[in-house]
Structure 1
Amino acid sequence: MANLKGARILVTRPEHQAGKLSQLITEHGGEAVRFPALAIVEHEDSMGIQQKLANLDKFQWLVFISANAVNFAVKANGGKIRQLSTQRIAAIGSSTAQALQAVGLSVDVMPESSYNSEALLATAQMQHIDGQCFLIVRGMGGREELAEALRSRGAEVDYLEVYKRIIPRMDNSHLLALLATNTLAVVTATSAEVLQNLLVMVGIGARQQLLKIPLVVVSERIRCVAVELGFERIAVTEYPSDTAILETVATLCNRSIEWQN
């Protein structure tokens, strides 16, 4: 992988998830500028979460949307989740699967390529689910496409929301200085909400400078949101992993590409 040659890369992941990407950037000669544009906090209704997790008998499937969904569910439930022999567990991606395995839960289904709801729905196990009951463990206000698709296939779907996303309070002076001097090489973002929050956090005055900087996102869906928000140069990673983000960043820093947006 090419050397980043001192390029400053904006890392917008939540603080507790930014370490690996920041380390990779540093190891490859770049400077990671950490500016979390999203914070993940626990849901206030821990009693309600515990009650639902104590009554899992009606569900044939537990679907965990993210590692955060696993970790906050476990935290709210006193450090563990009971897995029944009649249940199967689905994980959206590898980090979610690893979080499940770390707390002693076995994973029955995980998409092999793209780590999103569409890829999970494409698996063989999700094709014939008429009459089965699903519990989707997620954060507040997540996407509805997965539940809608499962219901269209005859399944019953319920939610367990264990965390919420908020805009963190951050000192933006260093970021504004980098934008003003045009010394930020690439912006990275792993969700549409991060992009929306980031624009709010930099304010109207720096918005146009931010929109001109090359942006790396991890899905076509996020790219479409970025286009609507006004970002001018957007690259999509092959996978949503930190390594794939780094590879795309390195490409932007070491050779010119033809922008399609």
Structure 2
Amino acid sequence: MNRSGPLAGRTLGVTRPAAQAGPLAEAIAAAGGTPLLFPLLDIAPAADPQPLAAAAERLTTYSWAVFVSPNAVDHALPTLLAHGPWPSDLRPVTVGPGTARALAARGIGGCLVPSERFDSEALLALPELATERVTGQWVAVFRGDGGRELLADTLRARGATVDCIACYRRSPPAGGSQPLLAAWRAGGLDALTVSSSEGLRYLLDLLDDEGNRWLRATPLFVPHARIAETARQRGLDKIILSGGADSGIMAALVAYNWSA
């Protein structure tokens, strides 16, 4: 640990799912901080594996394959590749660079990915997914159970045939809120990073009155305006909107005036 770094002496909560928390936690440690891992979402394979198996069998019929998160890559790709190599004319699409890196690590490159904002709106704004490019084409969207329908609905309105394949499921953390409460009571939690509106809702529902008082007094770093709005609607106001991905969160953590 770099004890003289810009985050020295700060304990920062990392609430990404366990499989995706490592890079942000390592970046915090490299900047001198102490990461406190508290995943707000538990990720498991989809309850019904049949839709993913069926998509694997017809993978060559798709023109576009959208992976909404690294979890989608982790839970879909082994089944897809078990049926054969990645089709050469199937274009992978991701919402953000972390998901593109997860695909590249498995030998699948050439991803279509937004360059600035990392959400469905930014993806849909790319010229490659304009109406004249996707009309009549088949699109597979690999995602968790539930979630936003904006991407699929918009592509359908543009003339594409879209299959949404749930390849993983999300659930609240099983361990309760004691690690956070203990850190707060000891004066050892300086901020939380939250990268999912769903995870934030789980956190707010998980905490008791004492925990919610602590949360309202704790800086909350979020990488998307939609998460910030969810936080404001639930009565939080110490919200710092960062740039996207881990790099954006780290830049905001380093730039924050901790003495204010």
Normalising by structure 2, report the TM-score: 0.89
Match of 2:236 in 1: 231
Match of 1:151 in 2: 156
Match of 1:209 in 2: 214
Structure 2: runs of 5+ lacking an equivalent: none
* Correspondent of 1:188 among 193, 196, 203: 193
Letter in 2 for 1:178: A
Match of 2:33 in 1: 30
> Percent sequence identity over matched residues?
33
Match of 2:223 in 1: 218
- Tell me, what secondary structure is at the counterpart of 1:109? coil
Provide closer, same or farther for how the CA distance between residues 177 and 247 of structure 1 changes in structure 2, counting only shifts above 3 A.
Answer: same
> Are 1:248 and 2:252 an aligned pair?
yes
* Correspondent of 2:23 among 16, 20, 23: 20
Alpha-carbon distance in structure 1 between the residues aligned to 2:208 and 2:79: 35
> Are 1:68 and 2:63 an aligned pair?
no
Checking the alignment, whether the CA contact within 8 Å between 1:46 and 1:77 is kept in structure 2 is: no
After TM superposition, the runs of 4+ consecutive aligned structure 1 residues lying more than 6 A away are: none
Structure 1: runs of 5+ lacking an equivalent: 257-261
Letter in 1 for 2:77: V
- Tell me, what secondary structure is at the counterpart of 2:143? strand
> Are 1:179 and 2:184 an aligned pair?
yes
Checking the alignment, whether the CA contact within 8 Å between 2:51 and 2:165 is kept in structure 1 is: no
- Tell me, what secondary structure is at the counterpart of 1:148? helix
Per-residue deviation, residues 189-214 of structure 1 (Å, max 9, x unmatched): 01011111112333233212212211
Alpha-carbon distance in structure 2 between the residues aligned to 1:88 and 1:187: 36
Alpha-carbon distance in structure 1 between the residues aligned to 2:84 and 2:240: 39
CA RMSD of aligned residues (A): 2.1
Per-residue deviation, residues 42-74 of structure 1 (Å, max 9, x unmatched): 113224312221112432211111111111012
Alpha-carbon distance in structure 1 between the residues aligned to 2:201 and 2:17: 14
Letter in 2 for 1:239: G
Match of 1:99 in 2: 102
Deviation at 1:103, TM superposition (A): 2.2
Alpha-carbon distance in structure 2 between the residues aligned to 1:57 and 1:76: 14
Per-residue deviation, residues 145-181 of structure 1 (Å, max 9, x unmatched): 1112112212221111100111121253332133335
Normalising by structure 1, report the TM-score: 0.89
- Tell me, what secondary structure is at the counterpart of 2:205? helix
Provide closer, same or farther for how the CA distance between residues 58 and 87 of structure 1 changes in structure 2, counting only shifts above 3 A.
Answer: same
